[in-house]
C-alpha cells in the first residue's frame, strides 16, 4: 500500500511543484518565482500531498489581511494520481488551515468549463456566488464559489433553534422569534409571529422598502411578550435616518422611535449608551442570554445594509451566530446561515453599522432566569 500524507510545502519542493504545474495546467501557471515567494509568505499556506515521497498534488490558500476571507488560490493533482481522493483531502486540509487562521469563508474561482473541479467543489459543500467574465488568460469565464468554514470534528450543539426570515425586512423580528423559541416555546418559529413582531417593532420606513427594526422597538416587543431585555447602543440619536431624504419619512421614523424609547423606559429596560466590548457580549452569552446584534450586512450577505443577527453561543474562539437571512439566489440554505462560527476579531468588525460605526445589541433572557 502506498504511503500518503499532507504537509506544508518548503522551498525544497519547488522543482517538483513546478513540474506538477506544467503537467496539470495549460495556462495561468504559477511560476517558480511565485512559488518561492508564496511558500515563504506569511499570508499564504501551501500544502502538498505526498505519495511514496513524491508530490502528487498541492493546494494553496491566501489570507487577505483585514477580512474574514481565505481564498483557494490553486489546487492541482497530478494526472497519474487523479480520481484517488487526493483533491478532496487537499481541499479539506486547506479548509482546516483557513479555519485555524480564523477565517469565516473560503472562496475560490474555477474555470467555467472545468466540470471535474466544479463537481468536487459542489460535493464539498461550496455554493456558486457569481461569475466573472474573461477571467483567465484565454478569455474563459470563472465561476466563484464560497463555503462557510466550520469545525467538522466539533459541530455546534445549539440550544437556540434557527428560523429563516420570510421577508426582506423582518430580520429583527426573526431574531426575536428565535429568542422566544429558546426561552419560551418553539411555537414562535412561525411567520405569523414573525410578521406580528415586525409590525410591533418596525421603524415604519427604512432605505427603500418597508422599515426594519431598531433596538428600542425590539426590546419593547421582547418585554411586552415576557422576556427580560437590555439595550446596548453607542448612539443616543435617532437611528437609521442618515439615508432618509424624505422629511415626512424622517418625521414618522422619529415618532416611532420616540414612542419605543418611552415604552422601553416605562418597561424598565436598562439602556447602556456606549459601544459594547466583545468580552461583555461573551459574558452575557456565558450566562445563558442571547443577543440580537446589529451588523453591517457586508460579510454576511454581500451588501451594506443594516441587518440583525442572533448571537447565541460562544465556543471560546467564535461567536456562534444565527443569520436569519438566507441568500437563496446564491444557493444558500438554512444550514449555511445557522450556527455560523464567526471568529472574535471578525465579529468585532462586523458588529457595527454605517459611517458612524453604530454599535447596537439587545440582550435577552427568559424572565424566570432572574429569580
Ligand X SMILES: CC(C)(COP(=O)(O)OP(=O)(O)OC[C@H]1O[C@@H](n2cnc3c(N)ncnc32)[C@H](O)[C@@H]1OP(=O)(O)O)[C@@H](O)C(=O)NCCC(=O)NCCS
Nearer Cβ to ligand X, position 88 or 199?
88
- Grid cell at residue 308: 440583525
- Nearest distance, CB of residue 136 and ligand X, angstroms: 10
- Nearest distance, CB of residue 142 and ligand X, angstroms: 9
Nearer Cβ to ligand X, position 69 or 120?
120
Q: By CB under 6 A, is residue 82 in contact with ligand X?
A: yes
Please report, for the chain, how many H helices and E strands are present, in that order.
Answer: 12, 14
- Nearest distance, CB of residue 110 and ligand X, angstroms: 4
What is the spatial distance between Cα 103 and Cα 332, in angstroms, rounded to a whole number? 19
Nearer Cβ to ligand X, position 117 or 221?
117
What is the spatial distance between Cα 331 and Cα 129, in angstroms, rounded to a whole number? 8
- Nearest distance, CB of residue 34 and ligand X, angstroms: 16
- Grid cell at residue 134: 474573461
Nearer Cβ to ligand X, position 76 or 281?
76
- Mark the segment that binds ligand X (CB under 6 A) among 1-9, 77-85, 220-228, 261-269: 77-85
Return the sign of the alpha-carbon dihedral for residues 242, 244, 247, 252: negative
Nearer Cβ to ligand X, position 21 or 230?
21
Question: How distant, in Å, are the alpha carbons of 44, 165, 257, 292, 358 from that of 215?
Answer: 40, 18, 9, 9, 12
Helices (H), the chain: 14-24, 32-40, 86-100, 115-123, 171-183, 191-201, 215-224, 247-266, 278-286, 298-301, 334-337, 344-350
What is the spatial distance between Cα 20 and Cα 135, in angstroms, rounded to a whole number? 23
Single residue of 17, 30, 55, 86 touching ligand X by CB under 6 A? 86
Single residue of 76, 221, 291, 299 touching ligand X by CB under 6 A? 76
- Nearest distance, CB of residue 193 and ligand X, angstroms: 41
Q: Which of residues 112-141 bind ligand X (CB under 6 A)?
A: 114-117, 119-120, 123
Question: Binding residues for ligand X, per CB under 6 A?
Answer: 24, 75-77, 82-88, 110, 114-117, 119-120, 123
Amino acid at each position: 500500500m502506498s504511503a500518503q500524507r499532507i504537509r506544508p510545502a518548503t522551498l525544497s519542493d519547488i522543482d517538483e511543484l513546478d513540474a506538477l504545474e506544467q503537467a496539470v495546467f495549460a495556462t495561468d501557471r504559477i511560476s517558480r518565482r511565485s512559488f518561492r515567494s508564496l511558500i515563504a509568505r506569511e499570508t499564504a499556506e501551501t500544502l502538498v500531498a505526498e505519495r511514496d515521497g513524491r508530490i502528487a498534488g498541492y493546494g494553496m490558500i491566501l489570507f487577505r489581511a483585514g477580512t474574514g476571507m481565505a481564498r483557494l488560490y490553486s489546487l492541482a493533482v497530478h494526472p497519474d494520481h487523479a480520481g484517488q481522493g487526493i483533491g478532496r483531502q487537499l481541499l479539506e486540509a486547506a479548509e482546516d488551515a483557513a479555519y485555524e487562521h480564523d477565517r469565516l469563508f473560503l472562496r475560490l474561482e474555477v474555470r467555467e468549463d472545468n466540470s471535474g473541479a466544479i463537481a468536487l467543489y459542489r460535493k464539498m459543500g461550496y455554493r456558486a456566488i457569481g461569475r466573472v467574465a474573461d477571467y483567465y488568460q484565454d478569455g474563459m469565464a470563472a465561476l466563484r464559489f464560497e463555503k462557510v468554514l466550520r469545525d467538522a470534528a466539533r459541530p455546534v450543539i445549539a440550544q437556540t433553534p434557527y428560523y429563516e426570515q420570510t421577508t426582506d425586512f423582518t430580520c429583527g423580528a426573526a431574531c426575536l422569534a428565535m429568542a422566544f423559541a429558546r426561552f419560551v416555546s418553539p411555537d414562535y418559529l412561525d411567520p405569523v409571529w414573525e410578521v406580528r413582531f415586525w409590525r410591533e417593532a418596525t421603524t415604519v420606513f427604512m432605505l427603500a422598502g418597508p422599515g426594519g427594526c431598531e433596538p428600542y422597538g425590539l426590546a419593547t416587543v421582547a418585554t411586552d411578550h415576557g422576556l427580560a431585555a437590555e439595550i446596548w447602543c453607542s448612539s443616543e440619536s435617532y437611528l437609521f435616518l442618515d439615508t432618509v431624504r424624505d422629511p415626512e419619512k424622517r418625521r414618522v421614523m422619529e415618532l416611532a422611535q420616540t414612542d419605543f424609547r418611552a415604552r422601553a423606559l416605562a418597561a424598565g429596560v436598562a439602556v447602556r449608551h456606549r459601544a459594547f466590548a466583545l468580552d461583555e457580549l461573551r459574558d452575557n452569552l456565558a450566562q445563558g442570554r442571547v443577543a440580537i446584534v446589529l451588523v453591517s450586512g457586508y460579510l454576511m450577505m454581500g451588501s451594506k445594509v443594516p441587518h440583525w443577527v442572533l448571537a447565541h453561543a460562544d465556543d471560546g474562539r467564535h461567536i456562534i451566530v444565527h443569520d436569519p437571512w438566507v441568500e437563496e439566489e446564491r444557493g444558500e440554505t438554512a444550514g449555511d446561515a445557522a450556527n455560523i462560527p464567526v471568529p472574535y476579531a471578525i465579529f468585532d468588525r462586523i458588529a457595527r453599522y454605517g459611517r458612524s460605526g453604530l454599535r447596537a445589541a439587545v440582550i435577552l433572557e427568559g424572565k424566570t432566569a432572574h429569580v
